[in-house]
Amino acid sequence: MTEAATAQKPSSTGAPVVEMRGISIEFPGVKALQDVDFRLLPGEVHALMGENGAGKSTLIKALTGVYTIDSGQIRVGGAPVSFARPAEAQAAGVSTVYQEVNLCANLTVAENILLGREPRKAGAIDGRAMRARAREVLTSIGLHIDPASTLSTHPIAVQQLVAIARAVAVDASVLILDEPTSSLDADEVAELFRIMRTLRDKGTAILFVSHFLDQVYEISDRMTVLRNGKLVGEYLTAELSRLDLISAMIGRELGEMDALARMTASHEADSSRVPTLRARGLGRVGSIEPMDLDVHAGEVVGLAGLLGSGRTELVRLLFGADRPERGTIEVDGKPVSIRNPRNAIAAGIAFASEDRKGEGLIADLSIRDNLVLAMQASRGWARPVPRRLKDELIEKYIELLDIRPANPDALIRNLSGGNQQKVILARWLVTQPKLLILDEPTRGIDIGAKAQIMKLVATLAAEGMAVIFISAELEEVLRISDRVVVLRDRQKIAELEGRSASVNDVMSLIASHSDGSTLERNAS
Amino acid sequence: MMSANVTTPTPATTSDPVAPVRKPATKGSLVPPRLLPVLATFVLFVLMFGTGAARYENFGTAQTVANLLIDNSFLIVLAVGMTFVILTGGIDLSVGSVVALSTMVAAWGLQAGLPAPLIVLLVLATGTVFGLLQGLIIQRFDIQPFIVTLAGMFLARGLAFLISAESISIKDETFRGMSGGAVTLPGDIVITYGVVIALTVLAIAAYVLHRTRFGRTVYAVGGNEHSAMLMGLNTARVKVGVYTISGFCASLAGLLFSFYMLSGNALHAVGMELDAIAAVVIGGTLLAGGAGYVVGSLLGVLVLGTIQTLINFDGTLSSWWTKIFIGALLLAFIVLQRAALRRRQ
């Protein structure tokens, strides 16, 4: 992904094919877009940049007719339009591939590509012609699968490519790709970029959204940056440095991350006392080999290892999400029996899982209601939480976590992904756990929110909470942790001092005796 | 990102060595997995029929199958309409009541001296409009189909009683002709016009579901309605459409039922919507929508009918055993569906 980065000259000429002026959209409690201008020229790849919650998805959905705009004007091909449904946008030549694969997994690959424009013979769908046409499109994007196979039998990455095939199949004048690369591997991304360049050279206007800066710099000609629902500016990719881009996106200097590094290192865990968590010989067949683990109050313990090394499996045992088959767990020196998450919560253990969507935020309730549910659950139904305490706690956590909007009555489903993640954290924090387990809390969220979460972890530890921190990014684990437990092949292989260990130390530990499995890299 | 995917080299399909080649996860089997549930129902039907043929004299004849069709022609039509609805992930509880209403409208109209063809049109129009209205309410106001059609169920039943609380017998020549008339197939197998109509409806439904955009959109909506909408499909029209089709089928079933019973009665077809749902589910259609075939629903009806016939032939069992068998069967099929879904994920 390094060749010819940023070197492409925008071949864009002439009038914009999409022109959006003064677009505003408001959801209850959230100003999703305020007076945003955006234009898309034919024959360019235009990256839409911004943090989570900046309004990228909203802008796209405004253009494709999923949301109706409150004010402003949209022109496609020079003519003012107001799409009420995605079908109308598609008819006008605007084709979209959304972040989540929006296909019907129960139908065949060919149907998913051509649904709604199947070739017909005498009024009836011509199955053979449909499969032939689908095969043509698939071949053109370098995907060799059987068009007659059911979509659900293919892995997500292939499904994502099928979604792109669908978008390509219509010869759209505008192609919108919202995070199309998040489930693709390097070869598939290269293939996608090849297709994008071909389409661009044919004059298609491509709107591209990605969290991966490398990819954005490789493929895009121009960028529009949004922040908090407002337009920051439009730039030529070749003229905007990464540092400038990032500060445009987050609106503050990057120095904060470094200050954080110093701050975390300044607190001291008292390891002479009884540990908050003491696990001995904890294990489960097929999940994790028996191991010992101590976590003290005020200490951050990082779990480092490759994907599948047993990081998540270990914490699932601690939380009772999987039932431990052997070993003992003590909390504050008292043995506890953890057979399910309720036992764990009762013992003061909280677990924010890596599966954010399944985490159990209730999307149709407000921030306040979600937090109250958690408080109430931790107290039992018979002891109501006093109203004043409720309001105090909610205000405290909204401020502490910088949840945006800072309105307790905003509905969860109107929040961005990063802010939903913060609410999940808040939800656990209101239960005031002794041990907080965070599994990949920073995955897929932007730099600004990442820094906030890291800072929060440091603050919580300084206040005496014990924390287990998991991240695929070793630097992150090392920066935040007092102690790092290194896992390989479902075994604990070492414990390091977080402050003195380097990424290289950990990597060589993992690589030693390793059976040649490749290191997992996280590209964000 | 490095790939965690293992790309197994498949020699036959590719010309480009760089492009990732993936085979579907399912192993090569004789029957595509999506046909398995229908096949299971077919096997079940054959087994049950075989049991009957082995145990009772005069059971294992083609005429027994024909009789199954004759006695259940209305249920076949009802199940076909229900299949459309369930394929979108919906449900239509009103159809049994619409059958009763249809028999009442027919009997009452004939009694009033209206010509039979007009009555047929009137009944079909009533059911179709009834379904259309339910569909519009479900789609426009985004209300659970369960609730809307539950209301429709009470409404249609009430309307039937409004016409008359008493049973009205049908004496019209045309209707009696349809009732008594029969088609003799080669091998001296006799079927009624009702069976011909039911099988025609089935064939048309299969064509619509598999060879038209409307039909494929029905499956798409059942698979993932949000995706279907984002794919630019006209999901609104399809959602309204399936309830309209179901309403039409219910009124047609009502006509067949009045041919069969030769009376109109507000108490006809109580609970028949549940028989139709049972037939569809036993026929392998997922209640969650998106997978299933009308042929499966036909087999489902035949299975239900066979249970009934077996118990009749036996003579010693109470007819309530029918319900017990259907209950057990339904449960088994739903658990199987669940297991199959789990494995797919």
Structure confidence by residue, pLDDT tens digits, A330-342: 999 899 988 888 8
Please give the tally of structural domains in chain A. 4
Of A85, A144, A522, the CB nearest to B14: A144
DSSP string covering A178-215, please? ESTTTT--HHHHHHHHHHHHHHHHTT-EEEEE-S-HHH
Identify all chain A residues contacting B220, using CB atoms and an 8 Å cutoff. Answer: 104, 107, 111, 115
What are the pLDDT digits (tens) for B192-217? Answer: 999 999 999 999 999 999 999 999 99
Nearest CA-CA distance, residue B334 and chain A, Å: 18
Identify all chain B residues contacting A149, using CB atoms and an 8 Å cutoff. Answer: 24
Q: How far is CA A76 from CA A22, A59, A172, in A?
A: 15, 14, 12
Residue A277 lies in a domain: yes
Nearest CA-CA distance, residue B5 and chain A, Å: 9
Residue type, A294: D
Identify all chain B residues contacting A521, using CB atoms and an 8 Å cutoff. Answer: 1-2
| Residues A116 and A85 grouped into a single domain | no
| Residues A181 and A85 grouped into a single domain | yes
Given an 8 Å threshold on Cβ–Cβ distance, is A125 in contact with B19? no
Antiparallel, parallel or unpaired: β A205-209 and A120-121: unpaired
| Residues A330 and A261 grouped into a single domain | yes
What is the average pLDDT score of chain B? Answer: 87
Angle at which helix B62-87 crosses helix B235-261, to 10 degrees, equals: 150
ipTM of the complex: 0.79
Residue B12 lies in a domain: no
What are the pLDDT digits (tens) for A440-470? Answer: 887 666 667 777 888 888 888 888 899 999 8
CATH number at residue B185: 1.10.3470
Of B21, B212, B228, the CB nearest to A124: B212
Distance CA A271, CA B183 (A): 92
Final residue before a domain boundary, out of A432, A455, A474 = A432
The residue with greater pLDDT, B104 or A184, is B104
Of B2, B21, B220, the CB nearest to A104: B220
Given an 8 Å threshold on Cβ–Cβ distance, is B16 in contact with A123? no
Q: Is the pLDDT of residue A415 over 60?
A: yes
Residue B21 lies in a domain: no
- pLDDT of B169 reads 93
Nearest CA in chain B to A157: B5
Please give the tally of structural domains in chain B. 1
Given an 8 Å threshold on Cβ–Cβ distance, is A145 in contact with B228? no
Give φ, ψ of A178 to 5 degrees.
Answer: -95, 105
The C-alpha angle with vertex B175 and arms to B174 and B176, in degrees rounded to 5, equals 90
Nearest CA in chain A to B18: A187
Residue B166 lies in a domain: yes
Identify all chain A residues contacting B4, using CB atoms and an 8 Å cutoff. Answer: 185, 307
| Residues A147 and A180 grouped into a single domain | no
Whether B287 contacts chain A with CB within 8 A: no
Q: What is the extent of the structural domain holding A234?
A: 15-93+172-186+205-251
Residue B337 lies in a domain: yes
Identify all chain B residues contacting A167, using CB atoms and an 8 Å cutoff. Answer: none
Of A85, A91, A105, the CB nearest to B223: A105
Identify all chain B residues contacting A517, using CB atoms and an 8 Å cutoff. Answer: none
Token readout for A365 is 């309730």
Percent of chain A with pLDDT over 70: 85
- Listed as own residue / partner, the contacts of A3-6 with beta carbons closer than 8 Å and 24 or more positions apart are A3/A218, A4/A218, A5/A214, A5/A217, A5/A218, A6/A217, A6/A218, A6/A237, A6/A238
Token readout for A180 is 């199309």
Q: Is the pLDDT of residue B154 over 90?
A: yes
Nearest CA-CA distance, residue A210 and chain B, Å: 14
Of B20, B23, B233, the CB nearest to A188: B20
Identify all chain B residues contacting A115, using CB atoms and an 8 Å cutoff. Answer: 216-217, 220, 228, 231, 233
Which of B 236-255 lie inside 8 A of A, CB atoms? none
Cross-strand partners of A279? A293, A329
Residue B158 lies in a domain: yes
Nearest CA-CA distance, residue B344 and chain A, Å: 8
**CB distance A224 to A48 below 8 Å:** yes
Residue B152 lies in a domain: yes
Least confident interval from A96-110, A167-181, A251-265: A251-265
Residue A68 lies in a domain: yes
Taken in order A468, A474, A479, A484, is the CA torsion positive or negative?
Answer: positive
Nearest CA-CA distance, residue A125 and chain B, Å: 5
Q: Is the pLDDT of residue A210 over 60?
A: yes
Residue A196 lies in a domain: no
Final residue before a domain boundary, out of A251, A274, A306 = A251
Residue B131 lies in a domain: yes
- Most confident range, picked from A24-28, A224-228, A259-263, B271-275: B271-275
| Residues A366 and A334 grouped into a single domain | no
Residue A214 lies in a domain: yes
Token readout for A275 is 């540990």
Distance CA A14, CA B71 (A): 71
Distance CA B3, CA A524 (A): 15
Q: Is the pLDDT of residue A517 over 50?
A: no
What are the pLDDT digits (tens) for B160-198? Answer: 999 999 999 999 888 888 888 888 888 888 999 999 999
Give φ, ψ of A488 to 5 degrees.
Answer: -150, 135
Residue A10 lies in a domain: no
Residue B267 lies in a domain: yes
Nearest CA in chain B to A518: B2
Nearest CA-CA distance, residue B73 and chain A, Å: 27
Residue A447 lies in a domain: yes
Token readout for A324 is 């431990």
Nearest CA-CA distance, residue A114 and chain B, Å: 10
Residue A501 lies in a domain: yes
Antiparallel, parallel or unpaired: β A205-209 and A174-178: parallel
For tokens 């953890």, the residue is: A338
Q: Which one of A83, A112, A115, A145 would you mutate to disrupt binding with B, by most B Cβ within 10 Å of its Cβ?
A: A115
Of B24, B212, B230, the CB nearest to A149: B24
Final residue before a domain boundary, out of A147, A171, A195 = A171
Distance CA A310, CA B164 (A): 71
| Residues A505 and A463 grouped into a single domain | yes
- pLDDT of B24 reads 43
Of B22, B212, B222, the CB nearest to A154: B22
- Listed as own residue / partner, the contacts of A7-13 with beta carbons closer than 8 Å and 24 or more positions apart are A7/A238, A8/A197, A8/A221, A9/A221, A10/A41, A10/A43, A10/A44, A10/A221, A10/A222, A10/A236, A11/A43, A11/A44, A11/A200, A11/A201, A12/A41, A12/A42, A12/A43, A12/A44, A12/A221, A12/A222, A13/A41, A13/A42, A13/A43
Antiparallel, parallel or unpaired: β A466-470 and A435-439: parallel
Nearest CA-CA distance, residue B270 and chain A, Å: 34
Given an 8 Å threshold on Cβ–Cβ distance, is A106 in contact with B227? no
Identify all chain B residues contacting A118, using CB atoms and an 8 Å cutoff. Answer: 213, 216
Give φ, ψ of A347 to 5 degrees.
Answer: -85, 0
CATH number at residue A28: 3.40.50.300
What are the pLDDT digits (tens) for B126-142? Answer: 999 999 999 999 999 99
| Residues A323 and A364 grouped into a single domain | no
| Residues A238 and A162 grouped into a single domain | no
What are the pLDDT digits (tens) for B234-293? Answer: 899 999 999 999 999 999 999 999 999 999 999 999 999 999 999 999 999 988 899 999
For tokens 């209707």, the residue is: B175
The residue with greater pLDDT, A268 or B180, is B180
Given an 8 Å threshold on Cβ–Cβ distance, is A189 in contact with B1? yes
Least confident interval from A434-443, B73-82, B275-284: A434-443
Nearest CA-CA distance, residue B87 and chain A, Å: 11
Q: Is the pLDDT of residue B157 over 90?
A: yes
Residue A444 lies in a domain: yes
| Residues A176 and A74 grouped into a single domain | yes
The residue with greater pLDDT, A335 or A184, is A335
| Residues A443 and A322 grouped into a single domain | yes
**CB distance B1 to A185 below 8 Å:** yes
Contacts of B217 (CB under 8 A, 6+ apart): A115, A116, B228, B233, B234, B235, B238
| Residues A307 and A456 grouped into a single domain | yes
**CB distance B307 to B275 below 8 Å:** no
Nearest CA in chain A to B11: A144
| Residues A165 and A287 grouped into a single domain | no
Q: Which one of B6, B231, B233 would you mutate to disrupt binding with A, by most A Cβ within 10 Å of its Cβ?
A: B231
